[in-house]
Amino acid sequence: MNQITGTIGRWQGAGLMATTLLGTGVFILPQMTIAVANSGALLAWIILTVAILPVAVVFGLLASRFPHAAGPAYFIEKAFGTTAGRTIGLIFLFVIPIGAPAAILMTFQFMDALVSITGWGQLVAELMIVLVLLLLNYRGIQVSAKLQFALTLAIVAVVAVLFSASGTNVSEAGAFTELASAEVSTVMLAMGIGFWSFLGIEAMTHLANDFKNPKKDMLPAMMIGTVLVGIIYLICTLLLLMVPSDKEGLAMIHTFETLLGNVVWQGMGAQVIGILGIASGIATVNVYCASAARLLWSFSKEGVLPSYFSKLNQFGVPLRALVTILLTMVLVISFTFVTEQKLEDLIAWSNGVFIIIYLLTMLSAAKLLSKRYLPLVVGGCIFCLGVGVALAENMLYSFILVIVVAPFMYWQKQHQTRKQAA
C-alpha cells in the first residue's frame, strides 16, 4: 500500500480542527494573556479571532484545491519552486521538537490540578503520552477524529454552561469600558502569546487526503473549527476578567468553582477542567504527530529524505515516519525536562517558525488562487507581519532554521538535477 485513503467527513474534520486549535491552551492561554495585558487581553483575542479568518480561508482553499500530504510545503513549492517548498517542509519538521514539549508542558498544568506529579514521575507520565499517541495513530487518524469531535462538543458545553452562569456578573467585569485605554504594547504581547492558540490551521492541510472529499469538506471543516475556537477563547478570557482570581494555578478552575459552586458541580472544577485540558492537549499533539508523519512520508517518496519512511502499514498509516517523529519527541522531552526549559520560550520560538510558514503560504496563494481572493491574501499577510513584529527577537530561531536549511535544500536539488541529466 502506498496511497492514503480518505476516511474523514466534514464534521469529523471540524472536530479535529477545533480540538487542535483549542488544544493545550484552551484553559491556559486566556490566563497568560490577561497576566500581560489585563483587560487588553480581550481586545487581543478579538483582533486575533477576526484577523485569523482570512488565513484560515486561504489555507482551506489551497488544501481543497491542492490536497497533498506535504501541506504548505507543497503549496509553496508549486508557487516558488522546489527549494522554497522543501525548506518550509523541513522547518515544519524541525519545529515539532520545540512545539511538542511546550504542548505537553502545558498539558501537565492540568495534570497538577488532578494529582501532583513531580520529579522523574512527571517525565515518565509525559513519555506515557507519547505511547498513547502511537496507539491513537496506528489505525489511522479517523479513529481519533471521532473522539476529538466528541471532545469538542464537551468543551463547548462546559464553556456555554459557565458563560450562562456568569450572567449576573457581567456588570462587574469592567472589561469593556477599559478596552479603549489598553496599551498597544501589552495588547501586541498578548497577541504574540495568543497566536499559539491558532497553530494547527496548517497542520490540517497535511491531512487533506485523509478527507473523503477534500474539495467539498476541507474549507467548511476548517472554517467551522476556527470560528468556534475564536469564540471559545474570547468567552474564556471574558469569564476570567469577570471572575478574577489571586490564587496560584489554573484560574479557570477558580472560575468554575465560583460560578457553579452552588449547584451539582460543586467541588468538581479541578476534575472537569483538568480532564478536558489533558484530553485536549493530547488531541493537539496527536494531530501534529499525524501531520508531521505524513510530511515525512511525502518527502521520503519524493527523494528529499531517505526512502525508509515511504512505507505505509495495512491501515494506510506512515508508521515508520510516525515512530521516528515520536522517538524524536521522547529525546527532546527528556532533554527539556533535564534542562528545565521555560514554557514561554518554547511557545515563542514555535510561533516564530509558524509565522514564516503562514506568511509564505499566503504569498503562494497570491499565485495559485484566483485574483478574487487577493484581499484575503493581503489580510493574511498583514496578520502574519503583525504577529511577527509582536514576537520580536523570538523570530530569531525561525530565521536561523531558514538560513541553515535553504542552502542545503538548494544543493540537494542541484545534485538531483545533475544526477538525472547524467
Q: Do 273 and 253 contact (CB within 8 A), yes or no?
A: yes
Is 148 a domain residue?
Answer: yes
Q: Which residue has the cell 508557487?
A: 79
Model confidence pLDDT, tens digit, residues 354-401 = 889 999 999 999 999 988 999 999 998 998 888 888 777 888 888 888
Task: Determine the pLDDT at residue 409.
Answer: 85
In a domain, 165, yes or no: yes
| 3-state SS class at 203 | helix
Instruction: Enumerate the H helices of 243-268 as residue ranges.
Output: 251-260
In this model, does residue 101 exceed pLDDT 80? Answer: no
Residue 3 lies in a domain: no
Pick from 28-37, 103-112, 209-218 the range whose average pLDDT is largest.
28-37
Helix or strand run (H / E) with residue 198? none
4 within domain boundaries:
no
Query: Is 74 a domain residue?
Result: yes
* pLDDT value at residue 64: 86
Kindly tell me the sign of the dihedral angle through the C-alpha atoms of 334, 335, 336, 340: positive
Res. 250 pLDDT band, cuts 50 70 90: confident
Give the pLDDT of residue 359.
93
Q: State pLDDT tens for residues 280-310.
A: 778 777 777 887 888 888 888 878 888 888 8
Question: Cβ distance 219 to 61 under 8 Å?
Answer: yes
Share of the chain above pLDDT 90, in %: 8
Residue 328: which residues within 8 A CB-CB, separation 6 or more? 96, 97
Domain count, the chain: 1
d(CA 368, CA 259): 49
- Distance CA(19)–CA(218), nearest Å, equals 16
Residue 73 belongs to domain spanning: 10-421
Q: What is the CATH number of the domain that holds 217?
A: 1.20.1740.10
Residue range 180-210, pLDDT digits in tens: 456 777 888 888 778 777 877 877 787 777 7
Least trusted range by pLDDT, from 58-72, 273-287, 332-346:
332-346
> Kindly report the CA angle at 252 between 329 and 55, in degrees rounded to 5?
60
Calculate the average pLDDT of the chain. Answer: 80
Q: What is the pLDDT of residue 76?
A: 93
**Which residues, 6+ apart, have CB-to-CB distance to 326 below 8 Å?**
130, 133, 134, 289
Q: Is residue 308 part of a domain?
A: yes
Residue 1 lies in a domain: no
| pLDDT for position 2 | 46
Say what the pLDDT of residue 264 is: 56
pTM (2 decimals)? 0.74
Is the predicted pLDDT of residue 1 greater than 50, yes or no? no
Backbone angles phi, psi at 117, to 5 degrees: -120, 120
